[in-house]
Structure 1
Amino acid sequence: MSNNQQSLTMAVDEETGRPVIIIRDQEEKGRITGVQAIKQNIAAAKSVSFILSTSLGPKGADKIIVTPDSEIVISNDGATIMEQMDLEHPIAKLLVDLSKCQDSEIGDGTTGVVVLAGALLDQAESLLDRGIHPIRVADGYDLASQIAVDRVRELSMPMRANCAKDVTPEFKQFLVDAASTALGSKIAQGEKLANVAVDAVLSVADLNRNDADLSLLKVKGKVGGSIEDTSLVDGIVLDKDISHPQMKDVTPDAKLAILTCPFEPPKPKTKYELSISTVEQYRSLAETEQKFFTDMIQRVKDSGANTVICQWGFDDEANSLLMQNDLTAVRWVGGEDIEAVAIATGGRIVSRFEDLTPEKLGTAVEVRQEMYGTTGDHMITIQGKRGYKTVFVRGSNKMVIEEAKRSLHDAMCVVRDLIRAPTLVPGGACAEIAASLRITSVANETDDIEQYALRSFAAALDAIPMALARNSGLQPIEAVAQVKAKQLKELERDPKYKTTLGVDCMARGTNDMAEQRVFETLASKTQQLTLATQVTRMVLKIDDIIGQL
């Protein structure tokens, strides 16, 4: 018998009589545990990190993603790429959660945090090969992370002592610089979009509390025009037309009836048949239907409303009656939009005409229908009294608009973070290089075995400037070595020198990020270091993945 035949045994199911193959080696196969399991987990994390590393920086590559619905998404936003990737390995999914956490907490740095986590795990693998216990590696990483965070805070540049003061031109310029840095690697970039993001956040910011409620900002897109046509609109924007061409385009001091009930006679829920055999029966039916419409319109008029926002459509007769009664109406307003209108105007959503009362009406300074571009497309702007704003994005196609929305989200989150804590750090991986040098210095003075983990952490931090240089077409080793040499000269004069030297990704002839006006938020940088270290510790402590037993 061959080896294959020796390893198989045939059995018969007594109930069905079907043969069952029993593999004798099955009991010898088990799960991989211990260091081998950790290495497999690290390999999965490294593969995901490598995919994102090419998208890092102002000249990072875009990724084209085909969704399960065969739609194409082109983006270099880390959170979007991670969300769209079809990952099966649990550690790879853990990195997706890492990216989501960075996105929800800060809004920017979603690519950098995954690349850093992958670099830390790559360096940890070499330490495991040298026989160092995973817990000792994790403990050393925790110490290195704290040293790095302290060094980054030394490099921070407070923009002003108190955010409760008025927004000065200098402070606003810092906000624009930080927003421009966040937009630097996106399809939609430029000072115009950075100014839109800054103006949008400042319009909903409460400087007395040092915070900005981004839920008061809506981002809407409309195909047509160019990215440069993107603007900030005071109010809620609906991609709809006023239901009748003879209705007023502008309704000042609007009282809005927000309805989720259709303007039509009630329909039985069961099947029915109606036979009309005489003229009198037809006239009676028409009069009854007319009375339904008249009663609906009268209830709206009695409530004091002069504008109707309806989730459903209008019958032609109802639409005509609304126009004759001098009521402005908008139909087919989706659930998300109708909720936004209700919140912005302070109105209540009404599901039955019988429940419509003056207390449930929303109030708006103005409801206006405007035409955009040369194609005759109309948009409706509802300027409520609760401070809602809309960033109205224009673009040549849907793909550009969706990427512009994602880019503006990152930029607005950066501006919000600076209003909460107005502190910047130089960009261009300046902070990572400075932290790497500080950790290496501490490692040289450490006698414990954790010095190896410290040096590995420092080497992992170098992966960020190396990726920036590589993606910018520079020689990565040469570019990073030059910046390190310049920073070391500064450290010789002052160990706590606030260096601003980073990788010159844009080839502007200087490594001074302050001169290039390239800044990142302190919150984003410290959060990246903290989250990447925490995830690395989690992976190093997982020695077995248990599925269905």
Structure 2
Amino acid sequence: MALFPGAVAFDEYGRPFIILRDQDRQKRLTGIDALKSHISAARQIAGILRTSLGPRGLDKLMVSPDGDVTVTNDGATILKLMDVEHQIGKLLVQLAQSQDDEIGDGTTGVVVLAGALLEQASNLLDKGIHPIRVADGFEMAAATALANLESISEAFPVNKDTREHLIKVAMTTLGSKVVVKCHRLMAEIAVDAVLSVADLEKRDVNFELIKVEGKVGGRMEDSMLVKGVVIDKTMSHPQMPKTLRDVKLAILTCPFEPPKPKTKHKLHVGSADEYRELRQYEHDKFLEMVHKVKDAGATLAICQWGFDDEANHLLLAEGLPAVRWVGGPEMELIAIATGGRIVPRFEELTPDKLGSCGLVRELSKFCYSSRYYST
């Protein structure tokens, strides 16, 4: 309690309150002194990031309270991991985060630029210029800079014919990243991925359709772009074919298992004959489900849920490859890529709800198996 900055007292109703010591000696910064304090905090944060700017910028080693170590020179990541308490510092963190969300690059540059502008603003404040006039001057300078950029800029068409120029632009943004040793490959992957999903007429890119999948092992040069959908699954049975062409996909959210009552129930089997009847019933139901999928014209079943060994054996016997335990987001991506419909019940499966796929193959890399869907 020796470090407690006050004393605890109670009012006439027994409610506690704290009396802080030495409040008469406390000072609050106001006016120019408060502005100088804010500018000093912003300049300190900008100074931390200044050394990480550019292709020869230094990496920062960040250690979290849990002991996790992060090495990066990305401005948004550094500010996010920093324990910033000053309110102006938090504004710079939000500035870098907004830059990262809107543009995706230049997070370090905007913070360093803001620190430099505030440094010049401090000199203007020393000359007696009012802060409002300084802010108005910054807005006028920004308008003049934008007008100058409009006058010297040239239109650059973005289409598949300008791929090489787009790759050069992408390489300049990767010059200060960890992937600099193979930034040509990374730039090609990035450009081809964006051009594959971009709506060039509306000048819009749905980044939800671009998925980055990481695997343990291998080298950075082993990175590749798959124009399709990648899921970390294998065929449900090891004897099913690993490569399929001109595939018709049935995208199912219903499990390959006999129907069950939705209420609580108990099943009493009193004899071997009853057990055989139950087993035959399940066998017939499994066959009925498999035949419904095959009769619709499907050559591959994508199932969100799992199925037991008997259903798996019947799928192999009937010549219907299947993939099980596929997650919901992957199911949606497969439906978008193949033009299929997600079917909740076997009775609703029709040929027009099947997806079309040119190639399905299972590729093992770095001791992991993944399903590659190429459309």
TM range (shorter): 0.7 to 0.9
Give the one of 360, 370, 375 matched to 1:367: 360
Equivalent position of 2:311 in the other structure: 318
* Equivalent residue, structure 2, for 1:57: 54
What are the Cα deviations for residues 3-57 of structure 1, in whole angstroms up to 9, with x where unaligned? x99x96844553xx57655448779979755444444443443343333222211
**CA–CA separation in structure 2 for the residues paired with 1:71 and 1:264:** 44
1:349 and 2:348 aligned? no
Query: Among residues 116, 128, 145, which one is paired with 1:131 in the alignment?
Result: 128
Q: In the alignment, is the contact (CA less than 8 A) between 1:9 and 1:24 conserved in 2?
A: no
Question: Equivalent residue for 2:107?
Answer: 110
Aligned match of 2:275 in 279, 282, 292?
Answer: 282
2:73 maps to amino acid = N
Query: Quick one: distance in 1 between partners of 2:176 and 2:132?
Result: 37
Residue type of the partner of 2:114? A
Aligned CA distance change for structure 1 residues 8 and 73 (closer, same or farther; 3 Å): closer
* CA distance in structure 1 between the partners assigned to 2:66 and 2:168 by the alignment: 38
Partner-residue secondary structure (3-state), 2:215: strand
| TM-score normalized by the length of structure 1 | 0.59
- 1:153 is displaced (CA, Å) by 5.2
Report the counterpart of residue 246 of structure 2 in structure 1: 253
Distance 1:92 1:144 in 2: 24
Specify whether residues 249 and 9 from structure 1 end up closer, same or farther in structure 2 by C-alpha distance, changes over 3 A only: closer
Structure 2 match to 1:293: 286
2:48 partner amino acid: I
- Structure 2 length normalisation: TM-score? 0.83
Report sequence identity in percent.
53
Aligned position for 1:223: 216
Classify the secondary structure of the residue corresponding to 1:369.
strand
Change (3 A) 1:39 1:255: farther
Pair 86,338 (structure 1): closer, same or farther in 2 beyond 3 Å: farther
Is the 8 Å Cα contact of residues 201 and 212 (structure 1) preserved in structure 2? yes
Q: What one-letter code is carried by the residue in structure 2 that aligns with 1:352? A: R
Q: What SS does the corresponding residue of 2:213 show, helix, strand or coil? A: strand
2:8·2:16 contact (CA, 8 Å) conserved in 1?
no
Q: Are residues 1:82 and 2:79 paired? A: yes
Q: 1:159-209: CA deviations, max 9, x gaps? A: 75x556x72xxx544323222211111111232222332333344456666
Which residue of the partner structure matches residue 473 of structure 1?
none
2:177 alignment partner in structure 1: 186
Residue 356 of structure 1 deviates from its aligned partner by 2.8
Whole-angstrom distance in 2 between the partners of 1:66 and 1:354: 56
Instruction: Find the partner of 2:190 among 190, 193, 197.
Output: 197
Query: CA 1:228 to 1:11, structure 2 compared with 1: closer, same or farther past 3 Å?
Result: closer
Cα pair distance change 1:347/1:67, threshold 3 Å:
farther
| Structure 2 spans left out of the alignment, 5+ residues | none
Count of paired positions: 370
Q: 1:139 offset after TM fit, Å?
A: 0.9
Cα distance, 1:11–1:216 mapped onto 2, change above 3 Å: closer
Contact 1:11/1:22 (<8 A) preserved: no
What are the Cα deviations for residues 69-124 of structure 1, in whole angstroms up to 9, with x where unaligned? 76544332223333444545443333233223322332221221122112222332
Q: How far does the alpha carbon of each residue in 1:504-547 deviate from its partner, in whole angstroms, 9 at most, with x for none? A: xxxxxxxxxxxxxxxxxxxxxxxxxxxxxxxxxxxxxxxxxxxx
